[in-house]
A and B are shown apart, each in its own frame.
Chain A
Amino acid sequence: DAKTTQPTSMDCAEGRAANLPCNHSTISGNEYVYWYRQIHSQGPQYIIHGLKNNETNEMASLIITEDRKSSTLILPHATLRDTAVYYCIVRISNFGNEKLTFGTGTRLTIIP
C-alpha cells in the first residue's frame, strides 16, 4: 500500500470548514483513498473513500487531485465533536489485501 503523509496537528475554529491534507505521491492506479477518524478511547470511525472522483457524503467531502498524488478531507462546518485524530489510508481493494495500515494521522482540534 502507498505511504501517506499528513500534518501532525491542526486547529480549526468552530463553525469553519476544516481542510485536512494528505500526500500520497506513490499511489498506484487501483488504490483507493480512505479517511477514518478516532476519538480518544473509541474505535476508528469511517468517514469517506474514493478512487479518483471527488466524493461527498453526510459527514464530509473528499477532494482528490487530478494526478491522485494528494487529497483533502473537508469537514464543512466543524463542531467541537469533530476533535479527533484523522487518518488518511491508501490501499488496494482486493480480497487478498485485508490489512488497514494506519499512520500517525492528524490531530485536529476544534477551537470554540
Chain B
Amino acid sequence: DGGITQSPKYLFRKEGQNVTLSCEQNLNHDAMYWYRQDPGQGLRLIYYSQIVNDFQKGDIAEGYSVSREKKESFPLTVTSAQKNPTAFYLCASRPPRQGANQPQHFGDGTRLSIL
C-alpha cells in the first residue's frame, strides 16, 4: 500500500543529544513537510522541501535540520539547540507540481519526549 511512514512512533532524547526522525513515502510525491504539534494546539511548519536537494525553513526552523537526498525520504534532526523539543512531530507530502491544490497527506507521527 502507498503511504507515508514515520519512525519511530515514540522517541526519547537525553539532554544535549541530537535525534533523527525518519519519514519515508512511496507515493511519488515531490513535496514533503515537517510539522510540530503541541498539546491542544494546531500544527506549526518546521521545514518543507518541494524537490530533491532543496528545502526551505518554515515558521519554527531554529534547532532543527533536514536533508532531502532522495525523493522518498525527508529525515528531520532535532538538535541539542532545540530547547523545548517535547512534541508530536508530523511528516506530510503532496503530489507533484501540477497539483497545486492537491492536499497534503500525513504520516502517523513521532512523539518525542525528553528524559
A-side contacts of B108, CB under 8 Å: 42-43
- Asked if B42 contacts A102 (CB within 8 A), the reply is yes
Q: Which residue of A lies closest to B33 (CB)?
A: A98
- Asked if A98 contacts B45 (CB within 8 A), the reply is yes
Whether A68 is near chain B, meaning CB under 8 Å from some CB there, is: no
A-side contacts of B103, CB under 8 Å: 34, 36, 46, 49
Query: Which residues of chain A from 78 to 104 have any CB-CB distance to chain B below 8 Å in the complex?
Result: 93-95, 98-104
Whether A51 is near chain B, meaning CB under 8 Å from some CB there, is: yes
Please list the residues of chain A having a beta carbon within 8 angstroms of any beta carbon in chain B: 32, 34, 36, 41-46, 49, 51, 93-95, 98-104
* Size class of the B contact interface (CB-based, 8 Å): 20 to 34
A-side contacts of B107, CB under 8 Å: 43
Known A98-B48, A101-B42: A46·B105 in contact at CB below 8 Å: yes
B-side contacts of A99, CB under 8 Å: 45, 58-59
Known A43-B107, A93-B101, A95-B97: A103·B90 in contact at CB below 8 Å: no
Min distance, Cβ A57 to any Cβ of chain B, angstroms: 11
Please list the residues of chain B having a beta carbon within 8 angstroms of any beta carbon in chain A: 4, 6, 31, 33, 35, 42-43, 45, 48, 50, 56, 58-59, 88, 90, 92, 97, 100-109, 111
Main secondary structure of the interface of B (DSSP, over half): strand
A103–B111 Cα distance when bound, in Å, is: 21
29 contacts between A and B (CB under 8 A): A34-B103, A36-B103, A41-B88, A42-B108, A43-B6, A43-B90, A43-B106, A43-B108, A43-B109, A44-B43, A44-B106, A45-B106, A46-B103, A46-B104, A46-B105, A46-B106, A49-B101, A51-B101, A93-B100, A95-B97, A95-B100, A98-B31, A98-B33, A98-B50, A100-B43, A100-B92, A101-B43, A102-B43, A103-B42
19 further interface pairs, Cβ-Cβ under 8 Å (given A41-B88, A46-B105, A46-B106)? A41-B111, A42-B109, A43-B90, A43-B92, A43-B109, A44-B43, A46-B104, A49-B103, A93-B100, A98-B31, A98-B45, A98-B50, A99-B59, A100-B35, A100-B43, A100-B92, A102-B42, A102-B43, A104-B42
